[in-house]
Structure formats: structure tokens, C-alpha cells
Structure 1
Amino acid sequence: MPSFYEFFAGGGMARAGLGAEWDCLFANDFDPKKAASYAVNWDGDELRVGDVGTLTVPDLPGRADLAWASFPCQDLSLAGAGAGLKGERSGTFWPFWKLVKALGDEDRAPRLVVLENVYGALSSHGGKDFAAICAALAGAGYRFGAVIVNAVHFLPQSRPRLFIIGALKSMPVPLGLVAGGPAGEWHPAALVEAYGKLSRRSQGAWVWWDLPAPPIRASIFADLVEDDPQGVTWHTPAETKKLLALMNPHNLAKVEAAKKAGRRMVGTIYKRTRADGPNGEKAQRAEIRFDDIAGCLRTPVGGSSRQTIMVIEGKRVRSRLLSPREAARLMGLPDTYMLPKNYNEAYHLAGDGVAVPVVRFLADSVLEPLLAAALATEKKAA
């Protein structure tokens, strides 16, 4: 059974994606509220709550096949303050990486490393942050490459994320896992541009991972909407009217078209600040989409980042906040997953996580084939 460490574990979504065939040796998260959810949903005493910077190599048992790290994205996000890897939150990558290097000094380096972050990590500080991460991997003896995977291929949520996948240079890499160059779906122009800014050493350690075509998604957002939502209440007619008043003519036209669709229509709304007031000043706007896909879940910092849904059945128009269970479903968590009772805590847990089926896709496509090839080579050598 392959084993793993789960850093910045949150509620354990990477663990959920890897599945029961993987053995978690150790998990860590700084946030006690997220850690409480992790503890409730996963058996065992692998979880260590606290700052990753306080961990030492003796805290990490055995030798893991994989170290997964969905390190904080706030300082790398386009919506953040731009502090990058020097920021208080995203800068926690370095204490994590210090542990990985120390494991290597003990001949316990994880065979595989996966780093997950936002798309904006490619361009943070003009690409220097991405280059620094790549240089760290190359310097520690890893071959690596990056892919952009949008959860929308698996779930009705637009959620593109960067995944950097590294394998120790001592491991064989099956030819079927390597592409001759960037392949459109997984290696968009922004990634190719970021690769072009890497040092020669980093480019020399680079692998263009060749992933299979994404599956055809079977669900739409309306399939995930609760008929009897828990943790939220429907807006009053006055509140829904106020929400409609925040829409510009383009978005109001979408609502009118939905009324005439002849079927139940479910849209998702984010409130945004736009420079389209009467005199060009900034004004809050409600923007709706009816493409059967939810907008990207975010952590609830301020009311504007909570996603609202609008259900339209003919002339009947209702609205409310996205429920905690709906947010969890948008991340691929099963309904058996126990969520925090507090709305913000549940929404934060989901919005700050990694999409479960994306993890499983990467495990199927890259991680498990790499480990299988390594095991086969070790058996021959024995």
C-alpha cells in the first residue's frame, strides 16, 4: 500500500482523493477548526495540529511514497496582496520544504511530491516565485513538471489549479507518462511562459507530464442543489429584489431568459465591485451565470466572497446563499463527510480545499503508475 504525508491538510481532501488504498502516515494543519474536521472524518492519530515551522524530522514517521502539500495560496493569488513566497501565509512553503530536504539527508526523501496552488502562482512576482519552487525541487534531486487541471472536468465548478508533480531522479519514469512538449489542455500558455523563465538547471529537470484526456462530466450544478438546505434560509422577496437591483442590464437579461426557459433554472451569483456606476465610479454588482457551472469557491472573507444561488421556475424567482453541503459537493466530498456546524467554518473548509476527484485523477494518471514502475524495478534488482 503506498503511503503519504499530507501537509496543509485542511479537512483531508487530498486524503479523500487518494482513497483507502493509500496509507496516511502523517497529516498537519495550522488551523484548529479545520483540524477538528479532519479528526472527525478520519480515523487514526496521524494528525498534528500546529505551525509547519515547528515540525522536525522525528515528527514524520517512516518513509512516505508521497508528500502532498496544498500550501496557502493567499499571497500568490491575483486577489491577494502580492507578497508571494515571502508572505506570511504562502511563505510557509519554505518550512515545509526544509522538512523534505531534511528527510533526504536521512535517506527518507518522499519518492513523489505534489504541490498544489492557485493559477496565479505562475505569475506571482513576475514568475520568480514559481521559479523558486522549481529550483528547490531541482536542487533536492527531483524531476518535476506542472499541469493546470480545472475541476470543471469532474465537478460543476470552475476551479483551475496548478499542480507541480515531482519524482526523485532515481525513479524510472515510464515513457507513456511523458509528452514531447506542452499539450494544450494541461499546459496552457501561462504555464509555458513560466517554464521559459526557469533556470537552465530547472528546465533540465523538467518533465512535461502527459495526462489522458479529461472525462466527460456527468453532473450539472442543479444536480448538487439541496431541496431542503441546511444551514441557510431562503431570502425574503425584498432581499431577492435587492439582489436583482444590483445587476446590470446584461445580467438582468440572463434572469429574464431563464424565466422563459420552460424548466427549472439554477444560477450562481457573486457580488463584485465594478467601475460602472452612473459616473464611472465603483459600484457593487451582482453577476449571475446560468451555464450549469458554479463559480470558483473561495474562502468567506467578507460577504462578497460567499456564493449566492438563484432558482428560477417560470416567474418564481428565489435566492439564498450556497449551503455548506452544496459547497462540499462542489469539491467532490461525499454527503457522509461531516461538516462543521458553523456556516463560515464549513464554507471555509470547502473553499480552501483541493477538489477530491482531481486528486484521484492525478493519482490514477501519474502517481500510481510512477510508483508501480519503481516497485517493478526494485523487484528486478532484488
Structure 2
Amino acid sequence: MNHVHSLPPLSRAPLRAAEFFAGIGLVRAGLESAGFEIVWANDYEPAKKEMYEGNFGTDHDFALGDVAEVNSSHLPEDLDFAWASFPCTDLSLAGDRRGLAGKQSGTFFHFTRILAELGDKKPRVIALENVNGLATSHGGDDMAALVRELNSLGYSVDVLALDGRRFVPQSRPRIFVVGSMDVPNEDPEEVSTLRPEWLQGVFQDETLVTHRAALPEPPAMLTVGLSDVIETMGPRDIRWWELDRKERFLDSLSPVQSGRLEAMKSSGLVTYRTAYRRTRAGVPVWEIRADEISGCLRTARGGSSKQAVVMAGQGRIAVRWMTPLEYARLMGAPDYNLNGLRDSQILFGFGDAVVVPAVQWVGDNYLAPLIRGELSQPARLERVAG
């Protein structure tokens, strides 16, 4: 439902937001489409700041540096909202699983420190994003600690599971945490698409202050679409691997995967798949996805290799690395400015980002309506404040 015409004039102004751990700005892209204005951003990677400002310009305050060096005096006043996609390094299955005690993922506590320093001036709504491993890290203790920390600042907490695959042909499951000082209308369903069984522990813990906002059903999971994002290139393009390299790729496939690929080769239709390099019993092998969906884009720091693109059909098989433009398209940012950037810089930036339309969906259906009072009548959280 479009609420814009029923809002008073002041409510139609952009919602002022701060973006912590901003990366290359894909959260900004999604929030801007949902009616937000990013007035302050922070990240410690110079290469990501270069990409961010190369795409969005410099009409904002970008604090380059460690979030540990940021304090409340650095932030602009009258913030409506703050977002934090804090590092997943210690929560990811590809990482060391130290959880919130880890050096990278533990930067979450600098975000909450800054909120505490803001006192009564902190935004009434905040959001965080991370990998699904956050829910299970240390048997759920890290998630409980995160919610308890936000509770101590006056926020009731909601947790959503939303896969980027609902918007783009990429498997990218993520958790979105929303903290609110106002209690939204409750979803009568405990277990749902957005809050599956494996997330229920946080809501069942009676020591935590949580809520389940009533939200629309998200789009269904995509099962096809990879071909729509594949960059067009001719058979003589030098990016296709030479014969020796392709043969090594094919020789590493299991019999089942080789048979599947041969069937694709024999088809009159050209189809595409993505492939990852794995280590099985100490031997490096390639594995091709069975569906027309990309695997999750990742960064080298996360311990995963780049994805390859496999084309098969009409008697031909060709293999190459996925291109920077394909990374951008798979993250829902097909128009992102890639000019003058190094390929490695682009792949790292997008592999460490958030799917744009997933952010926009959360912003359109939850964050903006919540801030504008459209999901509930404002009600102070007595359980937290008390």
C-alpha cells in the first residue's frame, strides 16, 4: 500500500540516515530508493570509499577510518535512522567462528557505544545486517547478547531472514535485525517465511525484549535468471579460458557433474551455470551448480574463491571467470559506476556488500513505515526503559 499521499508534508521529507560499515554503498542505494537520505557514512577501507564516492559523489560526510575512533560528536544531528552491516568475518562458516568476541564482528559493540553516547538523540529505529551464522554462533548466545545489548539502549528487537535470491538470481541468505523504540503491530504467526523455525530461539527467550512486526510476504525465491545477468561476449573473447585450462576444469568434475554438463552441451539451447573451486579429500576440484542461480558472491578474505561461469549448449562448452559487471548485476546494482576501477577492487567490494533490492524491500515495507508511525501507534517500551 502506498501511504505517501496520506502523510503530512513534513513526513514526505527524506529520512536522515547514518550508515556504519558502509562498504561500497549498496545499502545506501537500497535505502535511497525507499525514501532515505544518507547524511553520514563510515568505512575503514580506502578502496571501498573510492568506489562509494565514485558512484554517489561527495554530497555526504564519509568518515574513513576505524569505527573504534568514531564518537557521537562526529555524527550529524537529528538522525531518523542508523544502519550497520558489521563484519561477518567471525560469524561466517568461512571464518573462524569467534563470534562477537572476534576482532572483526566485535566491532558491533562500537556501533552500540556510539548509540549510547548519543543518549536521547539516538535514532528511534536502527537496523543491522549479517550472515545467517549470527543466529547460531555459539549456540545462539551471540544473537542473545546482541539483542540484549540493543535492549539496554531502549530498543525492542525483531529479526528477519531474507535471502537475496528473492530479488536477484544469487543465493545470498542474510539476517536483518531491526531495533525500535516504538512497538509495531505484531504478526500473529510465530513461524513464517521471514521468521523460520531456526530463528525462533531469540523470540522464545523471555529475558529478551523482542517483537514480530506484521509485514507482507516477500517475493518468492527465484529458480532461474542467471542468463539475464550474463555479460554478452563472443566465442573468441580472450576472457574465455584457453583449451588446457578448460580441460583441467573438466577433468576435475565428478562423474555426475560431467554427465550433467554433457547433457547441457548436447542441448540445442545455450545455458549458463556457475562453478566454485572446492577441496575434497585434499584434492582441489570444481563443482557446478545444478540450477540457473549464482552461488553466494564472496570475498577472498572470507576463504572462498571466485566463481566461474560455465556456458554449454549447441555442442560447445566454455568456461571463464565471472566478470565485475556480472557481480554488480547479481547484487542488484547494474548501473553502478565501475569506470577506472581494478577488477580485484570491484570483486572484493561487491562480494562484501548487501543486495540492493533486499535493502529496498526492508526499507519500503518495514523501516520507513515504522519511522513514520505507519506500522503502529507510538508506544514507549516500558519493559526496556524500566
TM-score, shorter chain, exceeding 0.5: yes
CA deviation vs aligned residue, 1:310-361 (integer Å, no higher than 9, x gap): 0112221111110011001100013243366212111111010010000010
Q: Which residue of 2 aligns with 1:125?
A: 138
CA deviation vs aligned residue, 1:282-310 (integer Å, no higher than 9, x gap): 22221102411000000024995100010
Give, as a single letter, the amino acid of the residue that structure 2 aligns with 1:227. Answer: T
Q: Mapping of 1:241-280 within 5 angstroms?
A: 241-275=247-281
Q: Which residue of 2 aligns with 1:49?
A: 64
Q: 1:261 to 1:376 in 2, by over 3 A?
A: same
Report if aligned partners of 1:299, 1:351 keep a CA contact under 8 Å in 2. Answer: yes
Counterparts of 1:310 and 1:111, CA distance in 2: 47
1:35 aligns with 2:62: no
Structure 1 unmatched ranges of 5 or more: 276-281
The alignment partner of 2:259 has SS state of helix
Counterparts of 1:368 and 1:218, CA distance in 2: 30
Counterparts of 1:149 and 1:324, CA distance in 2: 24
CA deviation vs aligned residue, 1:78-127 (integer Å, no higher than 9, x gap): 12111111111111111111001111x2x211121111000011111111
Q: Mapping of 1:147-296 within 5 angstroms?
A: 147-168=160-181, 171=182, 173=184, 175=185, 178-196=186-204, 198=205, 200-202=206-208, 205-216=209-220, 217=222, 220-228=225-233, 233-275=239-281, 282-296=282-296
Q: How many residues align?
A: 360
Give, as a single letter, the amino acid of the residue that structure 2 aligns with 1:237. Answer: L
Q: Mapping of 1:360-379 within 5 angstroms?
A: 360-373=360-373
Residue 57 of structure 1: CA displacement? Answer: 0.8
Residue 66 of structure 1: CA displacement? Answer: 1.2
Report if aligned partners of 2:252, 2:285 keep a CA contact under 8 Å in 1. Answer: yes
The alignment partner of 2:300 has SS state of coil
Say which structure, 1 or 2, has more relative contact order (CA 8 Å, 6+ apart).
2
Give, as a single letter, the amino acid of the residue that structure 1 aligns with 2:255. Answer: P
Give, as a single letter, the amino acid of the residue that structure 2 aligns with 1:221. Answer: L
Counterparts of 1:232 and 1:55, CA distance in 2: 46
Residue 22 of structure 1: CA displacement? Answer: 1.5
Give, as a single letter, the amino acid of the residue that structure 2 aligns with 1:39. Answer: E
Report if aligned partners of 1:118, 1:161 keep a CA contact under 8 Å in 2. Answer: yes
Counterparts of 1:33 and 1:60, CA distance in 2: 22
The alignment partner of 2:273 has SS state of strand
Report if aligned partners of 1:156, 1:219 keep a CA contact under 8 Å in 2. Answer: yes
Counterparts of 2:201 and 2:149, CA distance in 1: 19
Q: Which residue of 2 aligns with 1:315?
A: 315
Report if aligned partners of 1:150, 1:160 keep a CA contact under 8 Å in 2. Answer: yes
Counterparts of 2:254 and 2:161, CA distance in 1: 32
What percent identity do the matched residue pairs reach?
36
1:5 aligns with 2:25: no
The alignment partner of 1:123 has SS state of helix
Give, as a single letter, the amino acid of the residue that structure 2 aligns with 1:263. Answer: L
Give, as a single letter, the amino acid of the residue that structure 1 aligns with 2:263. Answer: A
Name which of structure 1's ranges 206-215 and 219-228 shifts more when overlaid on structure 2. Answer: 206-215
Q: 1:86 to 1:294 in 2, by over 3 A?
A: same
The alignment partner of 1:367 has SS state of helix
Residue 372 of structure 1: CA displacement? Answer: 2.2
1:141 aligns with 2:154: yes
Choose the corresponding residue for 2:36, options 11, 18, 22.
22
Report if aligned partners of 1:63, 1:108 keep a CA contact under 8 Å in 2. Answer: yes
The alignment partner of 2:161 has SS state of strand
Counterparts of 2:352 and 2:215, CA distance in 1: 25
Report if aligned partners of 1:37, 1:339 keep a CA contact under 8 Å in 2. Answer: no
The alignment's TM-score, normalised by the length of structure 1, stands at 0.89
Counterparts of 2:339 and 2:20, CA distance in 1: 20
Q: Mapping of 1:61-72 within 5 angstroms?
A: 61-72=76-87
Residue 194 of structure 1: CA displacement? Answer: 4.5
RMSD of aligned residue pairs (Cα, Å): 2.2
Counterparts of 2:252 and 2:215, CA distance in 1: 42
Q: Which residue of 2 aligns with 1:306?
A: 306
Q: Which residue of 2 aligns with 1:90?
A: 105
The alignment partner of 2:231 has SS state of coil
Counterparts of 2:207 and 2:303, CA distance in 1: 45
